[in-house]
Every structure is written in C-alpha cells, then in structure tokens.
Amino acid sequence: MPKVKKKTLNLRGNVLDLTTPVVMGILNINADSFYAGSRILSVDQAVERAGIMLSEGASLLDIGGYSTRPGAADISEAEETNRILPIIEALIHHFPDVWISVDTFRSAVARQAVEAGAVLINDVSGGTLDPQMFETVARLGVPYVLMHMRGTPQTMMTQHTVYNNLVPDVLFELQQQLATLRALGQKDVLIDPGFGFAKTPQQNFQLLNQLEAFQMFDAPVLVGLSRKSTIWRTLNIQPEDALNGTTVLNTLALTKGADILRVHDVREAMEAITLVTNCQPA
C-alpha cells in the first residue's frame, strides 16, 4: 500500500494539523529582499505586519534576517541575530500564542532563535551550508524545513542549475540529507523543493508540474512560490504585480499535494486553500 504522508507537526507540545493546508506568512527583516513590499525595517513595523497576517489566517510566521535572493549580499552571523531576536521577542509579547519559524541556514542563529521562542527552523540550504545545523535542530527538538538548494545565494544561479534529470536529482539530494537527519533522531521534517534556488524558471515549472513526486517522503511539503521571478519574468512584470500569478501557482501546488504555502500575501493564499479544499471530495 502507498505510504500515508505525515499530517501533523509538534510545535513544542502543540499540534499543528495539516489535514487542511495552512499558510506561513513571510516577515523579511532586511532591506534587500527581492520584493520591496516585504521588507521590514523596525520592530513596530514587524508587529503591525504580523498582526495583519495572523488576522488573515496565517498559522506560522517566518522571520528572516538574511536575504537569500539570487546574488544577495552576505551578512555576519551577529548582524543576522541582531535583526531577528528583537522581532521574535516583540511578536511573542504582543501575540503570546504565535508560532514563529526562523529562516536561517546558521546553526548558532537557529539555536538562539529557538531559545528566544521560535518553534520551527526553515533552512534554505538544507543543511549544506552549516555542518552543525542537523545536530543542532535534532538536539533542540523543533521541526525543520529541509529545502533543496545547491551552492549559496551568491552562486546558486550562476554555477548550479545544471541537472542530469531535474526531479530525480532533487529527490535524491533531499533523500540523502533526510537520511542524515533521521539518523540523528530528528522527528518532524518538512520538505521544500526549493523553487527559485539553483533552478531556472523553466526548471521551476517542471518541478511544480511534478510536485506529486515529493509525496515519496513521509513528510509535509512546503511550497514557496510567492512573487518569485519565475512568475514576474515569465509575465514580463515586476514582483509588485505578481500577486495574481502567485495565486495561480499556489493553487496548482495545492492540487498537487502542498501542505504549507509560504507567502507574502496571506489572505489570498487562505482563499486559494478554501476554494481548492471545497473542490475536493469529502
């Protein structure tokens, strides 16, 4: 019989049910993210944006202090930490029940974020940029997003987009990392195919077309397509105009098994989930 995919996450003793897909709202604490509308430059701004996202139905908020757009500038570990820790503390103060994810590939940042109250680590590198990351998250006992990427944000689009066979190659590389995580005792893992990371626009479309292949893992699937260049370059528009395209691709992802949509625009993603869910047989 086919494997039944895991449909819950343990968030520090609280259960997040993924029987119906959920939304993760993006909070970029930097001035360098590819979508200008997502940039947050103060604690007050973060609290305001978080309040809106939570009121619109976000189950998780994903805080990132390091821009991972193609070619983004590197920043120090100390600067990344200084950007996100005050935001975590402020959000927990204003929204005591909030579930915070931290978008980082650095184990030391992950550890400090969890100590400050984060309940999930979202690692765009899938453990390839910090050899201590897997041991750290396994020890912390929080869910971990294992994303597929090759290289670094500075090199991923210039040196790492050649594959022998895209989807099998991505699946194999994720499987290798997942096996290492499982051997360390990591229980809750989410799989992210890594749209836009070491993949051309055409490769992203191919990946989305075959998203069902990621059901092979006993893990929820997280999809991050929001306003990415695959949308706006294909449509010859700007990220600011890519909301409609985002909704189209998110809808396709939902029909192909996505469990979490990571987005800038929560209300529209929640509407997509509601409509797709109502189209499915009871």
User: Catalytic positions, please?
Assistant: 228, 262
Residue labelled with tokens 């090759």: 150
> Strand 100-103 to strand 120-123: parallel, antiparallel, or no bridges (unpaired)?
parallel
Q: Give the residue among 218, 158, 227 at the shortest CA–CA distance from 195.
A: 227
Closest CA to 175 of 217, 135, 145: 217
Beta strands in the chain (DSSP E): 8-11, 14-17, 22-28, 60-64, 100-103, 120-123, 144-147, 189-192, 222-223, 260-263
Sign of CA dihedral 221, 139, 123, 115: positive
The secondary structure of 130-143 as a DSSP string is -TTHHHHHHHHT--
Residues 15 and 56 sit within 8 Å (Cβ to Cβ): no
Angle subtended by helix axes 243-255 and 266-279, to nearest 10: 30
β-pairing, 144-147 vs 14-17, is: unpaired
Task: Please say whether the beta carbons of 26 and 36 come within 8 A.
Answer: no
**Alpha carbons 11 and 88: distance in angstroms, whole number:** 16
The strand pair at 60-64 and 100-103 is best described as parallel
